[in-house]
């Protein structure tokens, strides 16, 4: 409180009139779970590699992912979207993926980052196309958020490449396995 006044965040519901509610629900719900999973991945990576030379890089990416999750949590309230019932599962699965990839070392963690961030970028790109086809003006705020997060995810992808992701043991196999898991997670969460 500043000067005895409460500075509580108040999230106002969005007027949904004229919006395609099933499309909005699906986008926000799946983006929320995707950002939740990404956060858990980076929690796992920081737990294993937080004190290593790549720790600050992972922390920087994780900080942006925290902002993404916070925003989608706010959008869930504003657009009245319920979270997926699978959050407890993604909580564990994300951490295990992050810690497991980090146990392969810096290159393994960065391979995981490349795989996940590429998948998320592709997913955001598909959502941008869907909203543009629906009505870009009607979904202007949501489009702006998704486009910004798409930029962030592409940056995370590139950071992974810059930190030797492709030199990870069995990089192609690891990347493919992670991306198949991501697609399954999205399918189940939708």
32 occurs within a structural domain: yes
pLDDT, tens digit (0-9, with 9 covering 90-100), for 54-79: 999 999 999 999 999 999 999 999 99
pLDDT, tens digit (0-9, with 9 covering 90-100), for 168-180: 999 999 999 999 9
DSSP SS3 for 14: coil
DSSP SS3 for 71: helix
74 occurs within a structural domain: yes
Residues paired with 2 in a beta bridge: 5
Q: Residues 66, 121: contact at Cβ < 8 Å?
A: no
Token pair of 71, please?
A: 């925003």
8 occurs within a structural domain: no
C-alpha 15/C-alpha 2 separation (Å) is 31
Domain count, the chain: 1
Whole-structure pTM value: 0.89
The overall average pLDDT reported for the chain is 92
7 occurs within a structural domain: no
159 occurs within a structural domain: yes
Alpha carbon 38 to chain centroid, angstroms: 5
CATH number for position 157: 1.20.1260.10
Place of tokens 């969005």: 14
C-alpha 146/C-alpha 151 separation (Å) is 9
Give the pLDDT confidence score for residue 162 in this predicted structure: 98
Give the pLDDT confidence score for residue 12 in this predicted structure: 55
Domain that holds residue 178: 21-188
C-alpha 62/C-alpha 98 separation (Å) is 11
Token pair of 84, please?
A: 């997926």
165 occurs within a structural domain: yes
C-alpha 32/C-alpha 182 separation (Å) is 14
Instruction: Say whether pLDDT at 37 is over 60.
Output: yes
- Closest-CA residue to 98 (of 159, 64, 30, 47): 47
Instruction: Say whether pLDDT at 165 is over 60.
Output: yes
Longest dimension (CA), the chain: 58
5 occurs within a structural domain: no
16 occurs within a structural domain: no
- Closest-CA residue to 115 (of 107, 126, 103, 127): 107
């Amino acid at each position: 409180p500043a000067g005895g006044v409460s500075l509580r965040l108040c999230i106002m519901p969005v007027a949904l009139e004229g919006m395609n509610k099933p499309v909005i629900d699906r986008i926000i719900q799946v983006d929320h779970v995707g950002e939740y999973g990404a956060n858990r991945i980076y929690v796992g990576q920081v737990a294993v590699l937080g004190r290593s030379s790549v720790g600050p890089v992972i922390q920087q990416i994780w900080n942006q992912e925290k902002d993404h999750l916070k925003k989608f949590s706010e959008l869930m309230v504003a657009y009245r979207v319920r979270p997926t019932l699978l959050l407890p599962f993604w909580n564990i699965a994300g951490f295990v993926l992050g810690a497991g990839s980090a146990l392969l070392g810096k290159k393994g963690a960065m391979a995981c980052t490349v795989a996940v961030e590429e998948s998320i970028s592709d997913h955001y790109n598909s959502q941008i196309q869907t909203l543009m086809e629906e009505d870009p003006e009607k979904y202007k705020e949501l489009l702006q958020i998704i486009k910004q997060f798409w930029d962030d995810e592409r940056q995370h992808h590139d950071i992974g490449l810059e930190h030797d992701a492709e030199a990870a043991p069995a990089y192609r196999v690891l990347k493919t396995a992670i991306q198949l898991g991501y697609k399954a997670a999205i399918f189940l969460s939708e």
